[in-house]
Amino acid sequence: MDGSVKPETAGKGLARTAGALAGIKVVDLTRVLGGPYCTMVLSDHGAEVIKVEPPQGDEVRDWGPPFYEGDASYFIGVNRNKRAIALDIGKPEGKRILLQLLETADVLIENFKPGSMEKWGLGFEDVLSQRFPSLIHCRISGFGPDGPLGGLPGYDAILQAMTGLMSVNGDQTTGPMRLGTAIVDMGTGLYSAIGILMALHERKTSGLGQYLDMTLYDCGMALLHPQAPNYFLNGARPKGTGNPHPNLVPYDKYPTKTCDIFIASGNNGQFRKLCELIGLPEMADDPRFANNGERNVNRVALTLALAAAFKEYDGAELALRLIRNGVPAGPVLPIDEATAAPHTAHREMVTELDWYKGIGTPIKFSRTKGGTRRPPPKFAQDGSEILKQLGYTEDEIAGLEQGGVVFTKRRV
């Protein structure tokens, strides 16, 4: 089995090849969002991911409604293509099973509180790197193990607040606002995937694994563009500007007769073309709007003029005419319309297999096409299969279940 979906399998956005990461094995001890999102990215492209859940399960299985057969959409959205087993790794027998899984693993990823793995006798320096020299151990935590905030738990919204992201979202009427998507968690998942791939590449030369210290704090900070560069250069504290861009004008949301559209004009040529397409070529010659610097100073006057010009247009038609003529623009779509858009279907950005429906992989290869291979697993769905592959008999597996080491149902 190469992990690809059989050609005759019906669905959308399916993996038809083994994938660019075929042969890479990942033991995934993470829960919630950042870690599972990272391992789903890897699994979309062929990595074998074994999701090891604690006895109570990944808590986001409960983060609904909506639910499908007891699992929340929050879990379903980031856990496809994985096999699942449930272990109590705090017990010696559970620890032994984890170590057996690591014997053939390339990557271990976990998001326990710093010090937990060490407490269980599974620290990287003292144990894992000695026993498995080629293992890459990625830890995701809120703030890292040390420093003024070392060891404290991390949550997306709290890190949005503490890293400054919230301060530049919203505007002066709303004050700081949380981004509607969990940008720190998901960004940390993506940075972690990048780090793991870098470590796998370096291992080809050194033959050695290494430890990745990934934190929500660092990754939240890394997303502060262009606000941090602006501040470093001018010393002015960035403020939330809402939809408008702090550096570019016009770069904002505008109402039309039918819907809101967003214009993102990045240079003088695009602005002049915009003026021509809406029948106001003289606006581009107005000294107040002659270049981006002047437009920035006079953004209120320009915003009012454009809003007045757009109010009689069909927004979707206008946005399409603008972008087809070189002026970046698009209608502001709700999720249902965005996921149902023809280009979404063309790019296979909604994937379906059996009962499962989710957002497809954005990483498109010419030869090693990735995608959906299997729906997200039920709790401990593959536990018996995984243990048998490790050499356990059915009687031994039954004993592990009776001993509270392996679980088939979530512990309340």
For residue 190, give the H/E element and its range. helix 183-206
Domain ranges of the chain: 25-224+346-402, 251-255+260-331
Do the beta carbons of residue 99 and residue 397 sit within 8 Å? no
- State the Cα–Cα distance between residues 159 and 37, nearest whole angstrom: 18
Residue 115: what pLDDT? 93
The amino acid occupying position 288 is R
Residue 2: what pLDDT? 67
The amino acid occupying position 240 is G
The amino acid occupying position 268 is N
Residue 9: what pLDDT? 87
Please identify, in words, the CATH class of the domain defined by 25-224+346-402: alpha beta
Active site residues: 185
Q: What is the pLDDT along the chain (412 residues), one digit of tens a residue?
A: 467 888 878 899 999 999 999 999 999 999 999 999 999 999 999 999 999 999 999 999 999 999 999 999 999 999 999 999 999 999 999 999 999 999 999 999 999 999 999 999 999 999 999 999 999 999 999 999 999 999 999 999 999 999 999 999 999 899 999 999 999 999 999 999 999 999 999 999 999 999 999 999 999 999 999 999 999 999 999 989 899 888 899 999 999 999 999 999 989 999 999 999 999 999 999 999 999 999 999 999 999 999 999 999 999 999 999 999 999 999 999 999 999 999 999 999 999 999 999 999 999 999 999 999 999 999 999 999 999 999 999 999 999 999 999 999 999 8
Closest CA to 408 of 367, 377, 376: 377
- State the Cα–Cα distance between residues 271 and 71, nearest whole angstrom: 49
Q: Do domains 25-224+346-402 and 251-255+260-331 have the same CATH topology?
A: no
198-237 in b/e form (b: 16+ CB < 10 A) is ebbeebeeeeebbbbbbbbbebbbebbeebbebeeeeeee
- State the Cα–Cα distance between residues 343 and 185, nearest whole angstrom: 27
Burial environment of residue 354 by CB neighbours within 10 A (0 to 12, 13 to 18, 19 or more): exposed
User: 251-255+260-331: which CATH number, 2.40.50.180, 3.30.1540.10, 1.20.1540.10, 3.40.5.50?
Assistant: 3.30.1540.10
Residue 38: what pLDDT? 98
Give CA 49 to chain center in angstroms. 17
Residue 241: what pLDDT? 83
* pTM > 0.85: yes or no: yes
The amino acid occupying position 160 is Q
